[in-house]
Amino acid sequence: MQDDKTGGVPIRTVKSFLSKIPSVVTGTDIVQWLMKNLSIEDPVEAIHLGSLVAAQGYVFPISDHVLTMKDDGTFYRFQAPYFWPSNCWEPENTDYAIYLCKRTMQNKARLELADYEAENLARLQRAFARKWEFIFMQAEAQVKIDRKKDKTERKILDSQERAFWDVHRPVPGCVNTTEMDIRKCRRLKNPQKVKKSVYGVTEESQSQSPVHVPSQPIRKTTKEDIRKQITFLNAQIDRHRLKMSKVAESKEPSQHRVKRWGFSFDEILKDQVGRDQFLRFLESEFSSENLRFWLAVQDLKEQPLQDVAKRVEEIWQEFLAPGAPSAINLDSHSYEITSQNVKDGGRYTFEDAQEHIYKLMKSDSYARFLRSNAYQDLLLARKKPESEQGRRTSLEKFTRSVGKSLAGKRLTGLMQSS
């Protein structure tokens, strides 16, 4: 965000009265940048976000203790990474005391203590009465180090240090953004780093923060945990997969299965192998387009939404359009309804037509299929070696076929009446 050249905000040195203000950005620039890069339409939102970023301590107004963002010419400066809140500082009161002390030593108008800071200093002096000499010495040492630095650099560093303390010791009435949700306290990334002094002051009695619960050891995942997880995942996967019976894959359908096809039309449609057999039979009768239409419409119902329109068109062209290659026989009323539906093109376009074809197949083709040689042979589990058949006399063949058709009629009659 800071680099002007790569689409960041422009940071300039601004001339003001007799001096220069180094390294500043205007509020407007920041707000504009936020709106552009985070696709924010409403400037109110951008100002709010900017204020939050400032309140956290990543950007600060150079001439105000209150950390907020305004959409105007007010100048802001970026905070140094050393002072970033993400380092999880929790500076001690001794550090704050050193800082305030330091401020009083430097004879500069801009570093004068605000009222609340003066009050804080007085309070700390009372609290640290015994250690005050130590604190005073530390402050003096800091001032000496600071004097050696370049003037402009010092200006910047001073303001950054002040902003740091504005975050950790906020102006009374301002939100303290360093407050943490106690539930998340335990898992701070670097609980040790927190206790480090801002000015590198080492002390024997580093007080325990009352907010920090002593960090509990994070439960390591045991083998048992993972085994349970594996069992759970397997159960979930099974739920999703419908285990197809292996029997469905085999080529030779069992007798039971073949018998089942005779129970009702639905049974044969449900079974993949049954459908295949039925289709083969229909092909021999040159009426396979009915079943193929029915299957295509079933398949359409399971298509993903984006393919539905395309499939509807395909089915129409193949089975229903004038001059279709596999024209099915629909009565005019159904045809009307269907051609209307095709215009909308949904999953259920062919519902009406499908039902008609279903009834047609059931009453006509299905009955014939059950009486057919192909079905009867499968039912009686008879293998038809061509050579053997040749040996039977024509009379035998005749009586056999008559017998079969009679038996078939009786069987289907029984089945359909039940």
Partner 1 sequence: MCDQTFLVNVFGSCDKCFKQRALRPVFKKSQQLSYCSPCAEIMATDGLHENETLASLKSEAESLKGKLEEERAKLHDVELHQVAERVEALGQFVMKTRRTLKGHGNKVLCMDWCKDKRRIVSSSQDGKVIVWDSFTTNKEHAVTMPCTWVMACAYAPSGCAIACGGLDNKCSVYPLTFDKNENMAAKKKSVAMHTNYLSACSFTNSDMQILTASGDGTCALWDVESGQLLQSFHGHGADVLCLDLAPSETGNTFVSGGCDKKAMVWDMRSGQCVQAFETHESDINSVRYYPSGDAFASGSDDATCRLYDLRADREVAIYSKESIIFGASSVDFSLSGRLLFAGYNDYTINVWDVLKGSRVSILFGHENRVSTLRVSPDGTAFCSGSWDHTLRVWA
Chain residues binding partner 1 by CB under 8 A are: 34, 37-40, 42, 44-46, 48-49, 52, 175, 179, 182-184, 187, 216, 218-219, 221, 223, 225-230, 232-234, 236-237, 239-241, 304-306
Looking at beta carbons only, is 51 or 106 nearer to partner 1?
A: 51
Find out whether 290 and 368 touch, Cβ atoms under 8 Å: no
Residue closer to partner 1 by CB (options 22, 345) is 345
**DSSP letters of 237-305?**
HHHHS----GGGG-SS--HHHHHHHTT-HHHHHHSHHHHHHHHHHHHHTT-HHHHHHHHHHHHHHTS-H
Minimum CB–partner distance for residue 85 and partner 1 (Å): 13
Return left, alpha or beta for 42; rule: phi > 0 is left, psi -120 to 50 is alpha, else beta. Answer: beta
Structure tokens at 229: 């997880």
Torsional sign, CA 277, 279, 283, 287:
positive
Nearer to partner 1, 72 or 179 (CB): 179
Quote the least distance from Cβ 304 to partner 1, whole Å.
4
Rg of the chain, C-alpha, whole Å: 43
Choose between 220 and 391: whose C-beta lies nearer to partner 1: 220
Q: How far is the CB of 57 from partner 1 (least distance, A)?
A: 15
Residue number, 195 or 347, with CB nearest to partner 1: 347
Question: Cα-Cα-Cα-Cα dihedral of 187, 191, 193, 197, to 10°?
Answer: 120
* Helix pair angle (288-301, 351-360), 10° resolution: 140
Task: Please calculate the CA angle 315-317-321 and round it to the nearest 5 degrees.
Answer: 115
The CB-of-198 to partner 1 minimum distance in angstroms stands at 25
Smallest separation, CB 27 to partner 1 (Å)? 17
Least spacing, CB of residue 187 vs partner 1, in Å: 7
Cα–Cα distance, 70 to 60 (Å, whole number):
11
Burial-class residue 303 by CB neighbours within 10 Å (0-12, 13-18, 19+). middle
Q: Between 147 and 239, whose beta carbon lies closer to partner 1?
A: 239
The smaller minimum CB distance to partner 1, of residues 167 and 320, is found at: 167
Residue 12 phi, psi dihedral angles, 5° rounding: -130, 170
Pairing of strands 59-61, 75-78: antiparallel
> Residue 39 or 394: which CB sits closer to partner 1?
39
Taking the complex as a whole, the smallest distance from the CB of residue 80 to partner 1 amounts, in Å, to 21
300 vs 360, beta carbon nearer partner 1: 300
Three-class SS state of 124: helix
Compute the least distance from the CB of residue 46 to partner 1, in Å. Answer: 8
Q: How far is the CB of 414 from partner 1 (least distance, A)?
A: 42
